[in-house]
Amino acid sequence: MSSREHRVPLPNSSYVSEVKRTCSALRESQKIEVSTIVIKRLLFSPSFCSSFKRVSGYHGLNFPLIFPSVLSEVNFLSVLSLLNFGSGYRVPLHRQTGRGAWDGIRALMFGLYLSSSTGQGDLLSAKGMQTISEQQIADLMSINLYVEQPHSGIPGMSISTLGGPLYDFVKLIATTLRETGQILEDLGDPNLGTFVVRSLREVDVANNSADPNAGVDVILSKLVGAFPAFRDMAMIDEQPVYCFKKALFLIHAIVIRFGNSNMPPFPLPNSSQIPVFTDNVLPSILVHLGVVDLSRSTAHGLHAIFPDASDKAKVNSRLALPPPLPNPHPQTGPDSEKSLPTEGPVLNEEQAYILRAAALDACERIVQVARSLDENCLKADQKWIQNITLPELDLWLWAVAKDRADYRALERFVLRDTVFF
């Protein structure tokens, strides 16, 4: 656990409420503006209206795997959520593997699951997570851990040395798995799925509460309380801010997977008002679309990190253009230099938390504005806007960033050496 985590107290009341409250307070204290006018411009823009229903349904949680039990699937989703980070390594990952962080982690999870199913030891168990090596992770992700370095004594000769950004990324994955596996073993749980299912069993009582977020609070507090890799929080200007992106993602992933059943195998919380899973994509896209306005934010040097965002013509162009038809022949394998994503501005931890908090609060505001629209002023084909939910908005922002070439080309901020997004 880092010294930063020691300095941040866990919430002493509703975790969901504290996520929303602290993110809103941080956005306002940093003078980051999110106005009703720009929100309405987004909600009625051709880009939003033409793509929301189609794009917001993509969640990337359908897997071509046959699980032997519900517990096995919950464990898979739980470890996937635990490892749902690495956005800061997007460019080197694309350069080597042709995949970004999310697809790279999914590939790793497939490999871990299939290896565990062939008698090689259950690498998704508490014990197995503690034994995995950096080289095993690299092999499953098709990552080369060596970089070429000039030979110190022989001009013109290079040698392969263990290192580079992807070596750092793989070490973060290995450390997270080992730490979590050790905690699970200390708790007496054979895997992370067992811990999650036991937590879900306590949701029934919470679901009878008047607070719609009570069920989410139960699981969220247990995940964050037990595992440092879910403890996504910081002190900014002597005030705590809570994001808990991966833990919230896990809770909603379980609802997505099991919520359509008439008889789910365990109690499920209501995740319709769950905070968005704020990472580097959501704030970057919201800035590029003009919703999160950094122009008057003077602290922490944020006002100038996305210079194109102040160009109103470019913002209007992004909102006006409908998404093109999907590419029928998506590229596979390592990316060419032309198709590599652009490395965005590199931020420090404080800057990243401020932007992530601003995005989370901006999404709350977007849904509030949508709910408050005058139904009498809406056309028949616009009334659905009033019913958008936070998880749907999150999925739209995340998926639309990949849906069209001009959005894919937009820079996303970069923070490495974090296990939170």
pLDDT tens digit string along 292-350? 999 999 878 898 899 888 788 899 999 997 655 555 444 444 444 447 888 899 999 99
Closest to 184 in 3D by CA, of 223, 133, 132, 231: 223
pLDDT on residue 1: 45
Q: How far apart are the first and last CA of the chain?
A: 17
* 368-411 pLDDT tens trace: 999 999 998 899 999 999 999 999 999 999 999 988 888 999 99
Can you tell me the distance from the alpha carbon of 34 to that of 40, in angstroms, rounded to the nearest whole number? Answer: 11
HSE, side-chain direction, 13 A CA sphere, residue 88: 20
Per-residue tokens: 165: 């950004």
Can you tell me the distance from the alpha carbon of 317 to that of 137, in angstroms, rounded to the nearest whole number? Answer: 42
Q: What is the SS3 assignment for 145?
A: coil
* 194-220 pLDDT tens trace: 999 999 999 887 777 778 889 999 999
Distant-in-sequence, close-in-space partners of 258: CB < 8 Å, separation ≥ 6: 70, 264, 265, 266, 268
Degrees to nearest 5, angle at CA 155 with 150 and 161:
20
* 19-58 pLDDT tens trace: 999 999 999 999 999 999 999 999 999 999 999 999 888 7
> 134 near 124, Cβ under 8 Å?
no
Q: In 201-311, which residue ranges form alpha helices assigned H by DSSP?
A: 203-207, 214-226, 245-258, 281-288
pLDDT on residue 6: 56
Domain boundaries, the chain: 3-414
* 91-118 pLDDT tens trace: 999 999 999 999 999 999 999 999 887 6
HSE, side-chain direction, 13 A CA sphere, residue 355: 32
pLDDT on residue 3: 44
Average pLDDT value over all residues in the chain: 90
pLDDT on residue 324: 59
Locate tokens 């450390």: which residue?
Answer: 175
Can you tell me the distance from the alpha carbon of 116 to that of 276, in angstroms, rounded to the nearest whole number? Answer: 32
Closest to 141 in 3D by CA, of 116, 119, 117, 173: 173
Dmax (CA) of the chain: 78
Q: What is the SS3 assignment for 100?
A: coil
Can you tell me the distance from the alpha carbon of 39 to that of 260, in angstroms, rounded to the nearest whole number? Answer: 31
* CA-to-CA separations, 209 to 4, 235, 248, 330, in angstroms, rounded: 34, 31, 20, 47
